[in-house]
Amino acid sequence: MMTNYKLIIRYDGTGYRGWEHQPGEEKTIQGKMETAVIRMLNPSGLKENAEGGAAKSDCLGTFEGDIPDIISAGRTDGGVHALAMCANVRLDTKLSCKEIRDGINRNLPDDICVTDVSVAGDRFHARYNAKGKTYRYTCYAGELKPVFNRRFCYELGKVPDIEAMKKAASIIEGEHDFTSFCGNPRMKKSCVRCVDKITIEYKDEYLTFTYHGNGFLQYMVRIMTGTLLEVGQGKRSVESVAELFETLDRSNAGFTAPARGLALVEVDY
């Protein structure tokens, strides 16, 4: 009997091509997760290639049975991290939730970890049932190199004008057409989203931008961050941010902040 399981996953996105399967042999989080599930359920049914194997287009090899489709709450881009990505998968197994969690983790690389497994309702869908998401972007503004955190932050060199960035953030908050903040607006029927809260904090040489909204477009958080940083660095005015919701032109917004500073923090249901 198939049971729908909810998974909470933590991962370091460095070196991965994002969550979703990619053509060829690129490493993806989804590929590693699906391969780990297969190995847990049928260790002898998977034939690895020289790269270690991965699901579907990630060089799965062979498996007797259907490949488990792990559905995530979102598709993080290459290099982006997650503290609590939510996903669901349907499995036919007698293993307990703890045994599933431990079994998957035994077959995952050290930079991916399933932190929780629970039985979900049969109709639960990690993506379609999500009501909101929280992302955090981390910058480092200290004098010395962030040796141990360098994969998880963007180095600024000096502290920008935080008050100016907060004023600009208040303009971004709310429901708008975020076409100017989308990496590929042609891929979406609508770029209208609601960002209900942006928090900017500076502590111990780290500057963090926390965003909560009902959904985010491709590169949207990174473009919002780049735009706010340009305000803080005096490269654009606070008032210019409001114009971005009128021009609806990506070229008018700020730069796309590097992926390494971004992490999915939480998904609301």
Q: Please report whether residue 127 resides in a domain.
A: no
Residues 259, 144: one domain? Answer: yes
Give the SS3 label for residue 9.
Answer: strand
77 is catalytic: yes
Catalytic entry in 66, 69, 77, 177: 77
Helical ranges in 42-118 per DSSP H: 97-106
- The bridge status of strand 154-155 relative to strand 132-140 is parallel
Nearest-CA neighbor of 254 among 246, 264, 232? 232
Q: Please report whether residue 63 resides in a domain.
A: yes
When pLDDT is averaged across residues 238-265 and rounded to a whole number, the result is: 98
Residues 249, 169: one domain? Answer: yes
The total of other beta-carbon atoms located within 10 Å of residue 124's CB is 16
Residue-range definition of the domain harbouring residue 235? 132-268
Res 263 pLDDT > 90: yes
Q: What is the CATH number of the domain that holds 109?
A: 3.30.70.580
Residues 139, 113: one domain? Answer: no
The H or E element containing residue 11 is strand 3-11
Q: Please report whether residue 241 resides in a domain.
A: yes
Residues 136, 103: one domain? Answer: no
Res 4 pLDDT > 50: yes
Q: What amino acid is encoded at 223 in this protein?
A: I
Q: What is the distance of C-alpha 154 from the center of its chain? A: 16
Whether this prediction's pTM lies above 0.75 is answered by: yes
Cβ pair 228, 168 in contact under 8 A? yes
CA distance 84 to 75: 13
Sequence-separated (6 or more) residues with CB below 8 Å from residue 203: none
Write phi, then psi, for 132 (nearest 5 degrees).
-170, 165
Residues 110, 203: one domain? Answer: no
Q: What pLDDT, on a 0 to 100 scale, did the predictor assign at position 46? A: 54
Pick the range with the lowest mean pLDDT from 26-40, 56-70, 118-132, 139-153: 56-70
Res 261 pLDDT > 80: yes
Res 163 pLDDT > 60: yes
* 69 half-sphere exposure, CB direction, 13 A CA radius: 5
Sign of CA dihedral 69, 74, 80, 83: negative
Q: Please report whether residue 149 resides in a domain.
A: yes
Cβ pair 195, 212 in contact under 8 A? yes
Q: Which DSSP state fits 141? A: -
* pLDDT tens by residue, 30-78: 999 999 999 999 876 555 443 444 444 443 444 456 788 999 999 999 9
First-to-final CA distance of the chain: 26
Q: What is the CATH number of the domain that holds 195?
A: 3.30.70.660
Mean pLDDT for the chain?
Answer: 91
Nearest-CA neighbor of 150 among 135, 139, 134, 137? 139
Res 148 pLDDT > 70: yes
When pLDDT is averaged across residues 234-244 and rounded to a whole number, the result is: 98
Q: How confident is the model at residue 28 (pLDDT cuts 50, 70, 90)?
A: very high
Q: What pLDDT, on a 0 to 100 scale, did the predictor assign at position 186? A: 76
